Amino acid sequence: MKSMQIWATLLIISLLFVIPSKAIEVSKIEINPAVLLPGDVADGKLILTSQKEEDVRSISFKTTGVKITPSFITEIGVIAKGTSYEFPFTIKATNPGLYGVEVLINTKNDSKKHIFNVEVVDVKPLLILKKTRLILNEVNEVEFSLASRINFEKVRVEPLFNSEPSIFYFNTLQEATGTFKFYPTEDKPLSFKISFYNGRNYHETIQNVEVEYESSKGVFLTYNLSFSVLPVNDVSSLSVSLANLRNDRVYGVIVEVNGDRISFSENRREIPYLDPFTSTSTSFLFSPEKSGKNEITIRVSYKDEMGNDYVIQRSVEFTATDQEILGISNLDVKKTLEEVKITGDLSNGGRSKARNVVIEVIAKNITKNFFVGELESGDFFSFDFSLPLVTKKGTIIVSWTNELGSVNKISKEFSVPVKSFEKSPRNTMLYIGIAAVIVAAIIVVALVKSRK
């Protein structure tokens, strides 16, 4: 009977050691960062709560794959009823994996076991471009974002090529989106340096993004001459057209024209900008000052929004002839009994309009002129001048300005035939009257004689 009592007592004591007490509990395990990368150190916190006053003698950690410091601590002391105790520790990660950590809490009366997991992953932020088809030798605008299952902090993205902007900063990965502009000159992947923090752990990585390139179509220049052959000092038009076949806007477009002994209405035109896939045209009036082959150089310069300079140059040829622009034809000089009459036609055989046309006839100290005004290309004007009978010779001078404002002149000399004259209508009537009088007189005389 006594031995049975002893065994019962021993059984109760052993049960007290085997069945854990619920007086002490692990209420919370905090790990920052929650997910580690290889080489990371996490700050951990073990929080104990007790339903009654408890004397905690030791806390120990048992694990493989990660290192916990401190792994064992003693003489923690008494935790009062309804209070908490926080035990800080650190976790050092080495290799990727999911690792279980066993926590053993020993009190004066019993022990408590708790298990939690530590996750170690080998992941980095992934940079994603919104478009991967880019244009060489143009300003490309590209939007990017970062993706990861872990919300890293203090993220820094640095394109390893010339870009605007050159660096991006983000507080968290969730807000990591941006747009950059850059000017690729060769076919190669885009490299980015990405640095970030996971908790208090700094990381950086280089990421190469494969992209496809196509050649820029640039700015296309075309030109057109109104006429490829024209007289010296005549005026023609040169039209210059530009088409922006690029995917970006170009700025400060300057069109310049130059030529040896060629006058222009103006040598330079400026266009503030030209949007993608738009075109514009401008024209220049020009006038050659020498005959033969002439050459006009067209030079177009512009910039892109990153300040890169571009130049396009073309040459266009035309021929200038010695043909007179305004010509005098059908000139007729006749002498009547009373005056010298000069008639003729003035024609415009040039390619452009003649302005402020004046015909002037000079003979000794006598000058007569007539303001014709404008004479279109292909038109003619008939003139008629009267000069005194004493006129023996003279000069016809025609002056005008071309469409560039240049003054031009031609002259033609004339002489009056000595014996040649033409009866004027007035003299003819006089002669008829005299003849009529004579005839009448003869008739009268004849009648008188017949009566006798």
Lowest mean pLDDT among 53-57, 64-68, 233-237, 415-419: 415-419
Render pLDDT for 3-39 as a digit per residue (tens, 0 to 9): 334 333 333 333 333 344 457 889 999 999 999 999 9
For 28, residues 6+ apart whose C-beta sits below 8 A from its C-beta are: 45, 47
Domain 20-120 sits in CATH 2.60.40.10: yes
Specify the higher pLDDT residue, 448 or 72: 72
Same fold, 20-120 and 326-415: yes
Specify the higher pLDDT residue, 147 or 3: 147
Give the pLDDT of residue 335. 93
Give the pLDDT of residue 450. 54
Q: What distance in Å separates the CA atoms of residue 413 and residue 396, rounded to the nearest whole number?
A: 6
Q: Is 43 in contact with 199 (CB distance < 8 Å)?
A: yes
First to last CA, the chain: 221
Q: What distance in Å separates the CA atoms of residue 368 and residue 356, rounded to the nearest whole number?
A: 16
Q: Return the CATH architecture of domain 126-214.
A: Sandwich (2.60)
Domain 219-321 sits in CATH 3.90.320.10: no
Give the pLDDT of residue 396. 97
Render pLDDT for 246-268 as a digit per residue (tens, 0 to 9): 999 999 999 999 999 999 999 99
Which residue do the tokens 């303001």 mark? Answer: 371
Render pLDDT for 346-381 as a digit per residue (tens, 0 to 9): 999 999 999 999 999 999 889 999 999 999 999 999
Give the pLDDT of residue 412. 96
Average pLDDT over residues 285-312: 96
Query: Is 41 a residue whose pLDDT tops 90?
Result: yes
Give the pLDDT of residue 3. 39
Q: What distance in Å separates the CA atoms of residue 335 and residue 425, rounded to the nearest whole number?
A: 13
Give the pLDDT of residue 219. 97
- The closest of 107, 109, 110 to 20, measured between CA atoms, is 110
Give the pLDDT of residue 436. 57
* Cis peptide upstream of residue 125 (ω within 30 degrees of 0): no
Give the pLDDT of residue 442. 59
Write down the mean pLDDT value for the chain.
89
Domain locations in the chain as residue ranges: 20-120, 126-214, 219-321, 326-415, 425-452
Q: What is the pTM of this model?
A: 0.72
Lowest mean pLDDT among 17-31, 172-186, 190-204, 363-377: 17-31
Q: What distance in Å separates the CA atoms of residue 217 and residue 240, rounded to the nearest whole number?
A: 18
Render pLDDT for 418-447 as a digit per residue (tens, 0 to 9): 865 444 445 545 445 555 555 555 565 455
Give the pLDDT of residue 443. 62
Name the CATH topology of 326-415: Immunoglobulin-like (2.60.40)
